[in-house]
Amino acid sequence: MYSVILTALTGLASIIISNRGVAKSKYEKLKSRIYEIDTNILRKKIKFIQNYLWPEDSVVRANVSICLILMGFKRIANILIPLCNKWIVDDLTEKKSFCWELIAFAFLLAVLSGGGFSSGVLRSLSNSAWKKVENYNHLHMEVDVYNHVLRLPYNWHVNKKSAELWEIVNRGTSSVEMLIHMIFFSLGPTLFDVFSSLLLFYNVFDGTLTLLVFIIVVIYVITTGVVCKMQDRQQMWKARGEALSLRADALMNYETVKYFCNEPMEADRFKEATIKYQAHDDENKILRRVTDGVENVVTGFVFMLGSLLVAYKISRPGSNMSAGDYILFTTHFTQMISPLSYISYVFDSVWESFCQLGPLIELLEMPTENQKAIGFVDSEIEGSIRVEKVSFAYKEAKVLDNVSFEVPEGKTVALVGPSGSGKSTIVRMLYRLLEPTEGSISLAHNDIRNLDLYKMRSKMATVPQDCVLFDDTIKYNIGYGRSTATDEEIEEAAKNAQLLDLINRSAEKFETKVGERGLKLSGGEKQRVAIARTLLKNPKYLFLDEATSSLDSCTEKQIQSALMNLCENRTCVIVAHRLSTIAHADNIVVLKNGKVVEQGNHNELLAKNGLYSEMWRIQQEGQGAKMTGEN
């Protein structure tokens, strides 16, 4: 039936559009949008919403049941009020009796249902019960989505746009709350009121009036459904996400913007993106207003025609209808048409919420990091690290090519080489942030892909080249390495990382705020906080990725001794640019263009007179020139 009506409507639209000279391609696009319903995605959205319609918590379910019972009472009151008005008018006009009991009962119903008396007792009670349901759903939904995003793989986080991501999350969670609220408090009650009104009209009046009312219902439902499909909300929200992403990117890189005096350019880019969003939004709003206008004209016409028809039947000689029936028709029609006119907004909101839910469903379907692989081995995290014939590529660009080396347990291996040779990529693969495209990495002969991911990472720690801190205190950022650490342990870690001088200069001491991403600290200070955090974790495996690159020479020498003590009796991998900091390593792996070109200790590599020897010589000459200049 629905498809037949849609076919008729789109056929009519075809004639109208062609008569107005609109291009056929535009009509075809419009028609395809009307029919384009992905049932698979729709099924996923409904399944997702079901989890929150009837939550597992028994207390929350009790509140849902209370809301349903109260709404049932309100629906009954909505039917009885117009009937009471009819009986009151009949008693006053025909029997000339003062029906105070009936008037009191009608007044009580009006107070309970909210008919002109505030929001109604029943609605207030149901809103109070529903608030607990909303709080429960909001908490669990936000936490579930946040937990899922945190567990998404490294590659996904690298490629995401933060502003766009949280716009998707915020819109998605809000849309679920909106949908559930609309289903319980708007869509369900409105549909019940409409069908009960049709039954009432059919029993009290004749089929003609019922048919008139039914025509209005059909017009509202069909036009609203078609308009909702015609509106291109996906493109509108995509444009909105792009605008927000541009704004967040510029604000996050405010320093670069100021360096190049590009404030006007960034403002113009955001303006253009916002105009693009508004253009999509305006199209949807115009379509909605035109539809509302048509619906209002039809409703007004049917109300006038129905009122005249009831009045005519009452005025006919021998009619068994009374003046109360006219009151019944006008009161109940007005009472029914109010939520029915609102139903276009409800359908519009439901459809918009469904559209907003799509990107969130896609996000939740993203595979998370696999904590326990198919070939899971429940083994202790210990032993040597073995990198065997490992290759890695970002799409077509090969970063590592057949790399092999071993880090014996308790020994230190350094990775050196020109920029872009794949040193940091190896560290990320050791942490399983990245997976080799070929080859394997093993701990004590167990492929790390078969180990418990979080158990393995709990035994590892790293000091990255770019240290990013949380927008919290120094104490929090150091304590992040081990949440159970005492204040004394945090202070000891700060002391070993040469942080105490910085901390003691501040009035807040360890409670000093570091700012967003640690922007209140210098690069060297941030790196020392990261080192302290790593010292606190006390790991079995330690990875230092240019750990002292942001430090001055004096501070570097102070921290270097602490790092050497930290590496003692631990399995360590050090990525370094300054070769003097890794000359003590048990083995040095020299990389170039993603390949291992040399291996050996410091003296062995110098004797080979290869790439390492050349890099050493250049750095020594540079250091000598620097010292000469200082003298």
How is 284-328 classified by DSSP, letter by letter? HHHHHHHHHHHHHHHHHHHHHHHHHHHHHHHHSTT----HHHHHH
In a domain, 23, yes or no: no
CA dist 20 → 11, 16, 57, 89, 282 (Å): 14, 6, 57, 53, 22
**Whole-angstrom distance, CA of residue 149 vs CA of residue 142:** 11
Closest to 170 (Cα-Cα) out of 130, 141, 136: 141
Tokens 């303006």, residue? 271
Q: Domain for residue 1, yes or no?
A: no
DSSP-derived letter for residue 22 is -
For residue 496, pLDDT beyond 90: no
| CA 443 vs CA 25, 184, 218, 372: distances in Å | 61, 55, 68, 15
Say what the pLDDT of residue 624 is: 54
The Cα–Cα gap between 260 and 271 comes to: 19
The verdict on 257 and 378 lying in the same domain is no
Least confident of 147-161, 219-233, 502-516: 219-233
The Cα–Cα gap between 400 and 388 comes to 12
Mean per-residue pLDDT of the chain: 76
Please tell me whether residues 60 and 115 are part of one structural domain: yes
The neighbour count for residue 506, using CB atoms within 10 Å, is 12
Q: What Rg value do the Cα atoms of the chain yield, rounded?
A: 36
CATH number, domain of 554, equals: 3.40.50.300
Residues 522 and 623 in one domain: no
Number of alpha carbons in the 13 Å side-chain half-sphere of residue 230: 23
On whether both 185 and 301 belong to a single domain, the answer is: yes
- Which range, of 125-134, 326-335, 490-499, 597-606, averages the lowest pLDDT? 326-335
In a domain, 312, yes or no: yes
pLDDT at 232: 59
Angle between helical axes of 58-90 and 323-364 (0-180°, round to 10): 160
Task: Examine residue 5 and state whether it is found in any structural domain, yes or no.
Answer: no
Domain end among 364, 390, 416 = 364
Compute, in degrees rounded to 10, the torsion defined by CA atoms 516, 518, 519, 522.
180
- Is 54 part of any domain? yes
* pLDDT for the residue 591: 92
**Which domain-ending residue is among 330, 364, 398?**
364
Instruction: State residue 225's pLDDT score.
Output: 62
Tell me the pLDDT tens digit for each residue of 502-531.
888 888 888 888 877 677 787 778 888 888
Verify that 352 and 429 share a domain, yes or no: no
20 within a domain of the structure (yes/no): no
Neighbours of 378 (CB within 10 A): 9
The whole-number average pLDDT for the span 69-93 is 73
* Range in 49-58, 104-113, 244-253 with the lowest mean pLDDT: 104-113
Q: What percent of the chain has pLDDT over 70?
A: 77
Alpha helix ranges (H) inside 36-99: 39-53, 58-90
The answer on 475 and 446 residing in a single domain is no
- 547 vs 426, residue with greater confidence: 426
The parent domain of residue 41 ranges over 37-364
Q: Name the band, by pLDDT with cuts 50, 70 and 90, for residue 388.
A: very high
Give me the pLDDT at residue 208, please.
Answer: 76
Give the total number of structural domains in the chain.
3
Which of 344, 364, 384 is at the close of a domain?
Answer: 364
117 and 210 assigned to the same domain: yes
In sequence order, the β-bridge partners of residue 595 are 592
Amino acid found at 491 = E
- Specify the CATH number for the domain of residue 343: 1.20.1560.10
Q: What is the DSSP string of 201-265?
A: HHHHS-HHHHHHHHHHHHHHHHHHHHHHHHS-HHHHHHHHHHHHHHHHHHHHTHHHHHHTT-HHH
**Does the pLDDT value for residue 375 go beyond 60?**
no
Do 505 and 589 share a domain, yes or no?
Answer: no
Strands 587-592 and 571-575: unpaired
pTM (predicted TM-score): 0.68
Q: Report whether pLDDT(562) > 50.
A: yes
CB 109, CB 77: distance < 8 Å: yes
Q: Which of 15-19, 160-164, 241-245, 340-344 has the least mean pLDDT?
A: 15-19
Q: How many CA atoms lie within 13 A of 601 on its CB side?
A: 6
Looking at the fold, whether 221 and 267 belong to one and the same domain comes out as yes
15: in domain: no
Report the relative pairing of strands 595-600 and 587-592 from DSSP bridges.
Answer: antiparallel
Residue 117 sits in the same domain as residue 208: yes
Q: Which sign, positive or negative, has the C-alpha torsion 591, 594, 597, 601?
A: positive
Q: Are residues 556 and 585 in the same domain?
A: yes
Same domain for 143 and 292, yes or no, is yes
Q: How many CB atoms lie within 10 A of CB 396?
A: 5
What three-state secondary structure class fits 540? coil
Beta bridge partners of 415: 575, 589
Mean pLDDT of 381-410: 88
* Domain presence at residue 28: no
* pLDDT category of residue 374 using cuts at 50, 70 and 90: low
Contact 263, 67 (CB under 8 A): no
Contacts 24+ apart (CB under 8 A), 112-120: 112/73, 112/74, 112/77, 113/74, 113/77, 113/78, 113/81, 114/74, 115/77, 115/81, 115/335, 120/74
**In this structure, what DSSP letter does residue 452 have?**
-
